């Protein structure tokens, strides 16, 4: 009897399982439905870029990325598509991409943008030279084989400015050995030329306070190497300096640190090219810490050298003040103000009432 009950139960369970068996297979149905790619926001959206060099992308600016669009049937089944392609486009902000320029084309979900590509894209958008700051936007357009309508992402905004043009200028670099025991220093340069000659370059001499100084010419590119005058020790210094600067060197670990430049003496030279003065003085008021930089009126009287040049040197730490050239007397025709601030070595040609700044060389 008990076995009959078990047998009956198994039969019932089999009937239930058979009745619940689902032979339904989901098949593609209806039209396809697409979701557009989503362009991710950038961590930074303001850039200053230089004009690109020929055949060079330039400086890396940013990586932009987006999501892959989803293609599916109306019933939710995914559609496998082939050759998904993405075009990153740029357009002028608020013009709704009335004109778009291709920045990058890829089958990846990201694109790396370099200054050259972006610079050229902006010039194409504005049909001219890129001089003023431009507000542009980027978007991604996705496409694939068999697609009849492009899939367009949201846009992100960029503010792009052109870097100020710069022409290399002659600069002066100064350094002092703050740690280490090098007894000699030389500077060698390579790049556009060996500006200081062959290795080890130009030997440098320190002033009384231990500061070395050298002038970097306008030739660029230029890469500087500091060495112990060919004694077997050296380290790479800066490349393509853009302005005067001062450094402290640690020759124990070949490191250097930018520091404020100490004040320097200022030499003022002048040559009288008039006809009536026979003596030559220089006076200055408003200097610091000494108000009368060259002493009380008429200041310091100078005997010209064999070529007619007078010269005075203002010690480091003393500002010059307001200079008056004179002939030892006062009044019209005997003195005149130099209406300029003097902070560096300078040379003048003067008459009895005027001056001209001239080359000291």
| CATH (domain of 281) | 2.60.40
Q: Average the pLDDT over 327-354 and give the result.
A: 93
Consecutive H or E run containing 204: strand 202-204
**281 and 354 fall within a common domain:** yes
Of the three residues 125, 144, 162, the one that is the final residue of a domain is 162
> CA dist 170 to 12, 207, 244, 249, Å?
101, 21, 9, 22
Domains in the chain: how many in total?
A: 3
Residue 223 lies in a domain: yes
Residue 312 lies in a domain: yes
Which residues does residue 140 pair with via DSSP β-bridges, in sequence order?
88
| Model pLDDT for residues 60-109, shown as the tens digit of each residue | 999 999 999 988 888 878 888 889 999 999 999 999 999 999 999 999 99
Q: Average the pLDDT over 40-46 and give the result.
A: 92
Of the three residues 111, 145, 162, the one that is the final residue of a domain is 162
Question: Shortest CA distance to 31 belongs to which of 71, 70, 67?
Answer: 71
pLDDT at 15 over 90: no
Provide the domain limits for residue 332: 266-358
Residue 88 lies in a domain: yes
Residue 339 lies in a domain: yes
Taken as a whole, the chain contains a residue count of: 361
- Dihedral angle sign, alpha carbons of residues 274, 277, 280, 286: negative
Residue 225 lies in a domain: yes
**147 and 215 fall within a common domain:** no
Consecutive H or E run containing 355: strand 355-358
- 65: helix, strand or coil: strand
pLDDT at 11 over 80: no
**250 and 305 fall within a common domain:** no
Give the CATH number of the domain where residue 84 resides: 2.60.40.3640
Residue 14 lies in a domain: no
**330 and 215 fall within a common domain:** no
CA atoms within 13 A on the CB side of 349: 8
- Dihedral angle sign, alpha carbons of residues 292, 298, 304, 309: positive
**218 and 299 fall within a common domain:** no
**37 and 148 fall within a common domain:** yes
Of the three residues 224, 259, 294, the one that is the final residue of a domain is 259
**76 and 100 fall within a common domain:** yes
What's the CA gap between 207 and 213, in Å, rounded? 9
One DSSP character per residue, 1-16 reads -HHHHHHHHHHHHHHH
Tell me, what's the pLDDT at 330?
85
Which residue in this structure is represented by tokens 């190497």?
225
Q: Average the pLDDT over 100-123 and give the result.
A: 94
CB 140 within 8 A of CB 154: no
| Model pLDDT for residues 238-293, shown as the tens digit of each residue | 998 988 999 999 999 999 999 988 888 899 999 999 999 999 999 999 999 999 99
**240 and 281 fall within a common domain:** no
Which residues does residue 171 pair with via DSSP β-bridges, in sequence order?
216
CB 304 within 8 A of CB 341: no
Give the CATH number of the domain where residue 246 resides: 2.60.40.10
Residue 18 lies in a domain: no
Count Cβ atoms below 10 Å from residue 349 Cβ, excluding itself. 17
Consecutive H or E run containing 125: helix 115-126
Ranked by mean pLDDT, the top range of 31-40, 55-64, 183-192 is 183-192
Alpha carbon 296 to its chain centroid, in Å, reads: 49
Tell me, what's the pLDDT at 24?
47
**109 and 156 fall within a common domain:** yes
């Amino acid at each position: 009897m008990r076995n009959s009950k078990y047998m009956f139960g198994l039969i019932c369970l089999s009937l239930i399982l058979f009745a619940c068996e689902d032979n339904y297979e989901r098949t593609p149905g209806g039209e396809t439905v697409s979701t557009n790619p989503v362009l991710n926001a950038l961590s930074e959206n303001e850039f200053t870029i230089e004009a690109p060099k020929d055949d060079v992308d330039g400086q890396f600016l940013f990586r932009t990325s987006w999501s892959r669009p989803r293609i599916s049937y109306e019933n939710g089944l995914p559609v496998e598509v082939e050759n998904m392609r993405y075009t990153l486009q740029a357009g002028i902000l608020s013009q709704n991409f009335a004109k778009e320029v291709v920045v990058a084309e890829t089958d990846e979900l990201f694109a790396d943008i370099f200054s050259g590509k972006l610079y050229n894209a902006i010039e194409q958008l504005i049909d001219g030279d890129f001089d003023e700051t431009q507000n542009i936007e980027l978007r991604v357009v996705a496409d694939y084989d068999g697609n009849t309508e492009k899939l367009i992402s949201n846009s992100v905004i960029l503010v792009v400015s052109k870097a100020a043009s710069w022409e290399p200028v002659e600069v002066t670099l100064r350094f002092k050995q703050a740690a280490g025991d090098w007894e000699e220093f030389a500077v060698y340069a390579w790049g556009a030329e060996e500006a200081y000659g062959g290795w080890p370059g130009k030997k440098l001499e320190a002033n009384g306070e231990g500061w070395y100084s050298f002038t970097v010419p306008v030739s660029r590119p230029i890469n500087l190497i500091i060495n112990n005058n060919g004694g077997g020790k050296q380290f790479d210094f800066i490349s393509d300096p853009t302005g005067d600067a001062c450094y402290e060197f640690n020759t124990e670990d070949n490191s250097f640190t930018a520091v404020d430049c100490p004040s320097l003496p200022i030499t003022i030279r002048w040559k009288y090219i008039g006809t009536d003065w026979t003596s030559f003085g220089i006076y200055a008021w408003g200097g610091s810490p000494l108000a009368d930089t060259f002493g009380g009126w008429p200041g310091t009287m100078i005997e010209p050298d064999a070529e007619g040049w007078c010269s005075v040197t203002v010690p480091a730490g003393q500002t010059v003040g307001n200079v008056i050239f004179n002939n030892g007397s006062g009044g019209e025709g005997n003195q005149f103000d130099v209406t300029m601030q003097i902070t560096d070595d300078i040379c003048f040609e003067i008459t009895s009432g005027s001056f001209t700044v001239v080359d000291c060389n």
